[in-house]
Amino acid sequence: MRALLVANPAATTTSARTRDVLTHALASEMKLEAITTEYRGHARDLGRKAAAEGIDLVVALGGDGTVNEVVNGLLHDGPDPERLPRLAVVPGGSTNVFARALGLPNDAVEATGALLDALRERRERTVGLGLAAGTPGTEDESVPARWFTFCAGFGFDAGVVGRVEQQRERGKRSTHALYVRQLVRQFLEEQNRRHGTVTLERPGADPVPDLVLSIVCNTSPWTYLGNRPLYASPEASFDTALDVLALTRLSTPAVARYATQLLTSTPERGPHGKHAVSLHDLTDFTLHSKVPLPFQMDGDHLGLRTSVRFTGVRRALRVIV
């Protein structure tokens, strides 16, 4: 088996020594080339090259951002599960939502052992992915399409992600406490929390207007707070298209109610109420905003957008589990 290991040296929870141990463990079972990423987008370039060269397996060692880049490289020319390399993930970030949603251990060493067992036993599954692009006929129509593995956000939650990234650029560590602090600051400064500017449009249904927050989920849970899974859209699955949780109000009482529901959410029940909109298994829809809003995918802030078109693609990529 020809395999490529793409390792992010800045991964939050792995050291150079850990990466060396994992590399030797994987190399004992396969013909492995290991490359350390050197710039933003490098993992994407490596994934694209691996797909072009017919590599059998690409192992992403890093956080969700590294995984996202590798996936976008692999799917540069579109999904083709039977032809493209299989993907394996060794978690090295602070949250590792995609790896944990697949059922992998959240420890890099344990995950490597699980990966080797899965390869020996030929365990894999084909997962669906989300695709987001600029909407034709809008000022964002030239924005290139990009794949996401577990979630995207347009509005409030993307603003929180952007704030966290700013703090990390200033040298702060990516911790759950940092996310909570930035969430509070985003809420206090959110200008549109009482009157949303986003409208969701989908074929064959009435528009859903006045959304303040819109979270698009490709799987469940949506994210983790420490070891606690948070279920924004409990029905979301790698086997279906996309789910949406949207809120039409973020007043102080509404935030307290929905934050409590999110913290106590389960695989059977997520946030609900008169200001909550939950939609399941959507293959094609668009989010439009009256004003530019922050946009994020897989925890990566991508700047401001006014309109994003989403596509849920079933059976897009084979993953080792």
Question: 279-313 pLDDT, tens per residue?
Answer: 999 999 999 999 999 999 999 999 999 999 999 99
**With 90 as the cut, is the pLDDT of residue 195 above it?**
no
**With 90 as the cut, is the pLDDT of residue 13 above it?**
no
**With 90 as the cut, is the pLDDT of residue 64 above it?**
yes
Q: Taking the mean position of all CA atoms in its chain, how far away is CA 96?
A: 9
Check residue 168 and give its pLDDT. Answer: 72
Closest C-alpha to 241, from 221, 216, 268, 266: 216
- Structure-block tokens of residue 191: 């200008």
Candidate from 1-5, 157-161, 293-297 with smallest mean pLDDT: 157-161
**With 80 as the cut, is the pLDDT of residue 29 above it?**
yes
CA dist 259 and 267 (Å) reads: 16
Q: By the 8 A CB rule, do 240 and 312 touch?
A: yes
Q: By the 8 A CB rule, do 59 and 293 touch?
A: no
Q: Convert the pLDDT of each residue in 91-136 to its tens digit.
A: 999 889 999 999 999 999 999 999 999 999 999 999 999 999 999 9
Higher pLDDT, 251 or 106: 106
Check residue 147 and give its pLDDT. Answer: 98
**With 70 as the cut, is the pLDDT of residue 85 above it?**
yes
Q: By the 8 A CB rule, do 136 and 312 touch?
A: no
- Structure-block tokens of residue 195: 């009157």
Instruction: List phi, psi (to 5°) of 159.
Output: -65, -40
State the average pLDDT over residues 227-241: 96
Check residue 174 and give its pLDDT. Answer: 67
**With 80 as the cut, is the pLDDT of residue 190 above it?**
no
Q: What number of other Cβ atoms are within 10 A of residue 40's Cβ?
A: 10
Q: Taking the mean position of all CA atoms in its chain, how far away is CA 286?
A: 18
Share of the chain above pLDDT 70, in %: 98
- Structure-block tokens of residue 129: 């992915």
Residue 193's pLDDT band (cuts 50, 70, 90): low
**With 90 as the cut, is the pLDDT of residue 175 above it?**
no
Check residue 194 and give its pLDDT. Answer: 66
Label residue 290 exposed, middle or buried (CB < 10 Å: 0-12, 13-18, 19+): middle
Between helices 176-189 and 156-169, what is the axis angle to 10°?
A: 120
pTM above 0.75, yes or no: yes
State the average pLDDT over residues 58-78: 97
